[in-house]
Structure 1
C-alpha cells in the first residue's frame, strides 16, 4: 500500500503516475520489491483514459467501474464507441479489505 497526499482540488489522474512510482510490494522470499502489481482496484473517480492507458501499458489489470457519463458517451457513439472495459465485480468487492501481514 502506498500513500501519496495531494491537495483536495487536484484530479486523481494528475498525481496517479507519481503515486504509482512510489509503490513497492515486498516479495514473500528474497529479492527486491515489485513495482508492478497484478491488479489495481479503484473507484469510479479513477476511471479516466489517462489512468487506464497507463495501467494497460504497464500490464496491470484495471478493476475500475465505468462512470455513467463514459458509458453513455460510448453507447452514443454506437459501434465506433468500442467495447466496454472488462470489470471483475467479485474482485472489486474486495477493494476496501486490508489484509494483515
Structure 2
C-alpha cells in the first residue's frame, strides 16, 4: 500500500508543479486551487509512505516520478524542447526509479 501511495503522491507532485506554472504567480484561481490540493496530497502521501519506506528511497522515487512526468508534460505541450537525448535521459531517470523500487 505504501508503494502505491508513494507513486500517487509522485504524480500529485507533477500536478502541483504544472499548476504552479499555470497559476501565473497565483493570479489565476483555478490553477492556484489545483496547486494547493496537489501539494497537500503530494506531501501527505510522501509523509505516509515514509513511515514504511526508507527516507532516501521514498524521496528519490517521489522526485523522480514528479520530475519525469513534469518534463514529459513540458515537451508534449511544447514549452520545452523535444529531443532524443532528453527522452533518453528521462527514460534513464525512470529506470533508476524502478531500480530503487526493485532493491527497496
TM-score normalised by the shorter chain: which range applies?
0.3 to 0.5
Q: Higher helix fraction: Structure 1 or Structure 2?
A: 2
Greater CA radius of gyration, 1 or 2?
A: 1
TM-score, normalisation: structure 2? 0.33
Structure possessing the higher relative contact order (Cα contacts under 8 Å, 6 or more residues apart): 2
